Chain A
Amino acid sequence: MSNLIFLIPIALFLGALGLAAFLWTMKSGQYDDLEGAAWRILDEGDDKPKPD
């Protein structure tokens, strides 16, 4: 029983953390272009032309 005093708040805190993280990602527009994000991950991303 005494363990629960810690465990329940910790569980709730971690859950709330996840919820807050989700709300933040949504607010910062990370779900606006899911298709594009899937392609961007394949991009080298150094934004420089190749040195050939």
Chain B
Amino acid sequence: MSCCAAGTESAAELEALKSEAPSAEEMWLSSRPLSDGMRQVDLIVPGVHCGACIALLERELPKTAGVDHARVNLSTRRVSVVFGDTSSTKTAGDHAEAVLTALGEKLKALGYPAHLPGGGEEGVDPAFRELLKALAVAGFASMNVMLLSVSVWSGADDATRDLFHWISALIAAPALAYSGRIFFRSAWDALSHGHANMDVPISLGVILAYAMSLYETITHGEHAYFDASVTLLFFLLAGRTLDHMMREKARSAVRNLVRLSPRGAMVIRDDGSREYLALDEIEPGMRLAIAPGDRIPVDGRVVSGRSDMDFAVVNGESAPLLVEAGSLTPAGTLNLTGSLVLEATKSARNSFLAEMVSMMEAAESGRAGYRRIADRASSIYAPAVHLLALGTFIGWMLVSGDWRMAMMTAVAVLIITCPCALGLAVPVVQVVAAGRLFENGIMVKDGSAMERLAQTDHVVFDKTGTLTRGRPQLINSASVSPDHLAMAARIARASRHPLSQALAVHDLAGDAVPDFDITETPGDGVEAISPEGDVYRLGRAVFALDGHDQGIDGAADGSQVVLSKNGVFMDVFLFSDQLRRGAVQAVARLSALGIDAEILSGDREAPVKALASELGMKNYVAGVRPRGKVDRVKALAAAGGKPLMVGDGLNDAPALSAAHVSMAPASAADVGRMAADFVFLHDSLEAVPLAISVSRKAGSLIRQNFALAVLYNCVAVPVAVMGYATPLIAALAMSSSSVIVVLNSLRLRRKTAVENFARSASDQRAPVGVSDAGLGASA
């Protein structure tokens, strides 16, 4: 199963190095007790793709001692592991810890990095279940009522017709009460706040139709609208369920990608004892032990220790910084090389991370003003329908003076103008579009994001991690001696420094464990003493060459590593950050779509300028802080633009929230992914133009659907107003309008087969021709 062979790609390998399995303490904190001494822990395992992954995990994980069974949920990429051992009750906690440690190692060994789900979201979505149940009941009722109605239409009369009407009434009543709840509740909410929404005419239509039909039945009338009212409910619920499904699916998928900030930290007590505390329990003044590879849980100041730290969440830069006693460490930064003791300066609630979140929430409220197409349509549509029905009633009262007949016609108008085509128009298109994007590795948070993306006219890119890979790569591997490279790579395996990890990928010997005695000096490099007594050093030139940098250090800005043997220069390795795949094509396609692009980076002027010219982009701004990015995005919006922000990293998150619409790569920091409307999973940046063209296509289909609905009303409404709408005609007209809208929406789907083919043929390269064709079709 090639799709599951994690570690075949260097990228996957690096990723695996970075994200270890959560520690036993963290898993223990998030596990929950089941009956009879068992406990369950849910882990997110983004690596599961296919049936083989399921089989492998469900077979291998229970082989860990103490693990009872494991169940994989492929849709949500989760594994539920039930563990515990009833025999060893006396040391239940210790035992569980051993089990969890073994479990974490097992997952790592199998090549599936796991992490814990974020807090606050658990289990199945109750709103979705309610919708599904309501839909099922409405479906059942509408089928049976329709069956009886067909008999009436085909000529049942007198007693038979009355009987059928009565049975229909009996079936429809509970169905309306049960399934209609969702609309009645929302309509009542809207009315009690003094405004009308789409649910008001729906509720009114359904209830009036039922009441009138019941009256007709009692008075042995010919026409009853039970079928229409239940079927209407069924169609509308279908639309609403689709809408909900799309949002929820993407949302949970994004949620699952979230790699957590730590759930707690090892606290050093005054008496020297250590204790693992949950994040909320950490108070300012506590001393925390931070191991290499840990994220900093709360803002702190280094008390002792020396280490390289990845500050990418703060400044977006991937090059690590040296921290020593006295340095400040914001929450969320990653400790790379040395052990540290920190003094917490703020609690988790007030940390740097929390501050960024509140900044984003402030920006988010600015975007809440956006109104969805469906809302705008319904604000016009709902009052128009009511006026029309009222007009019909008054008109027929004046003409005929027969209130029953006038009421019947008015109800017919309400039903025939039923917004079910409108109710389906938006969600169906968005579900189909989201599905197509999902197949291309793009997750959508909700439908309004797609509507906003379709409007975008300006793209703002972050540099590191977005346009570039954010990972240094060896660029002179061809010119260095292969022996030196192999030696350097072997030594580098011992270090977590990004440059070391970039080197370690070139260790072709694989599993042969170097029998060197390795020590790492944070900020300088790695020293390795071979069994023969030779001292190899890998790191800064000053460090490797015993204080003589031979002019090497000044040559480039830190993106190089020198290898020396007993203080004698052997080789120098140069690194640079590489362009993300598809970046050039993406920028070109954006300009073909008529969209301006610019770079907004926290990095220095020179590399940003170089990148801009490489991509052929004229506009760039360098040296921008997080707040500066927000200001730039707001300035664009103030000038009448609809900026799309593409960024990763915590420092981009406020700008992602502030922008009209935003995208983030899956490799982005947690908060960045949370803030973005779209998350793309594949490496290629071509996801950006693809998402824009699919969204535009979806937007045009939605407008077509509205046009179809309006067209339908132009035909159907006069018929109903004139009083010619029998229940048969009403039901036929209503259903056919819905079916047409659905069929039209499915046109978005047509290109998918080609798209998949293009992707598998060219190894996930975003299909260039396809979305162009899609655009052509929409024109």
Contact = CB atoms under 8 A, between A and B. Distances in A.
B75 A47 contact: no
Contacts of A16: 140
Contact of A34 (B50, B72, B75): B75
A39 B132 CA distance: 24
Contacts of B76: 33
Interface residues of A, number: 25
B147 A33 contact: no
Given A36-B72, A36-B73, A43-B55, A18 B140 contact: yes
Contacts of A49: 59
A36 B75 contact: yes
Contact of A19 (B54, B55, B137): B137
B74 A36 contact: yes
A31 B137 CA distance: 17
Nearest to A19: B140
A48 B73 CA distance: 21
Contacts of A42: 51
A35 interface: yes
Interface in A7-52: 8, 11-12, 15-16, 18-19, 22-23, 26, 29, 31-36, 39-40, 42-43, 47, 49
Contacts of A4: 160, 163
Contacts of A22: 136
Contacts of B50: 39
A11 B51 contact: no
Contacts, number: 53
B50 to A, nearest CB: 6
A11 B147 contact: yes
A19 B136 CA distance: 7
B144 interface: yes
Interface of A is mostly: helix
A47 to B, nearest CB: 7
Nearest to A1: B160
Contacts of A12: 144, 171
B75 A8 contact: no
B97 to A, nearest CB: 28
B326 to A, nearest CB: 51
Nearest to A43: B55
Contacts of A32: 73, 75, 124
B265 to A, nearest CB: 34
Given A26-B132, A42-B51, A43-B55, A15 B143 contact: yes
Contacts of B372: none
A47 B59 contact: yes
Contacts of B148: 8
A22 B144 CA distance: 16
Contact of B73 (A11, A26, A33): A33
B133 interface: yes
Given A33-B74, A34-B75, A36-B73, A43 B140 contact: no
A2 B519 CA distance: 94
Given A1-B160, A32-B124, A23 B54 contact: no
A26 B129 contact: yes
Nearest to A9: B167
Interface in B21-74: 50-51, 54-55, 59, 72-74
Nearest to B73: A33
Interface residues on B, range: 20 to 34
Interface string B122-150: 00100001001100110010011001100
A12 B129 CA distance: 24
B74 A15 contact: no
A18 B129 CA distance: 17
A35 B132 CA distance: 18
Given A26-B129, A32-B73, A36-B73, A43 B54 contact: yes
Given A11-B144, A11-B147, A18-B140, A39 B54 contact: yes
B51 A8 contact: no
Contacts of A11: 144, 147
Given A11-B147, A23-B133, A26-B132, A40 B140 contact: no
Contacts of A35: 74-75
Contacts of A43: 51, 54-55
B139 to A, nearest CB: 8
A35 B124 CA distance: 16
A35 B217 CA distance: 47
A3 to B, nearest CB: 12
B170 to A, nearest CB: 9
Given A8-B167, A19-B137, A23-B136, A39 B144 contact: no
B51 A40 contact: yes
A40 B124 CA distance: 21
A19 B124 CA distance: 21
A33 B136 contact: no
Nearest to A27: B129
Nearest to B52: A39
A14 B255 CA distance: 41
Nearest to B170: A12
Contact of B133 (A8, A15, A26, A34): A26
A31 B136 CA distance: 14
Interface of A: 1, 4, 8, 11-12, 15-16, 18-19, 22-23, 26, 29, 31-36, 39-40, 42-43, 47, 49
27 contacts: A1-B160, A4-B163, A8-B148, A11-B144, A12-B171, A15-B140, A15-B143, A16-B140, A18-B140, A19-B137, A19-B140, A26-B129, A26-B132, A26-B133, A26-B136, A32-B73, A32-B124, A33-B73, A33-B76, A35-B75, A36-B54, A36-B72, A39-B50, A39-B74, A40-B51, A43-B51, A49-B59
Interface of B: 50-51, 54-55, 59, 72-76, 124, 129, 132-133, 136-137, 140, 143-144, 147-148, 160, 163, 167, 171
Given A4-B160, A39-B50, 19 more contacts: A1-B160, A12-B144, A15-B140, A15-B143, A18-B140, A19-B136, A23-B136, A26-B133, A26-B136, A33-B76, A36-B72, A36-B74, A39-B51, A39-B54, A39-B74, A43-B51, A43-B54, A43-B55, A47-B59
Q: Which 7 A-B pairs have the closest CB atoms?
A: A39-B51, A36-B74, A33-B73, A35-B74, A19-B140, A35-B75, A33-B75
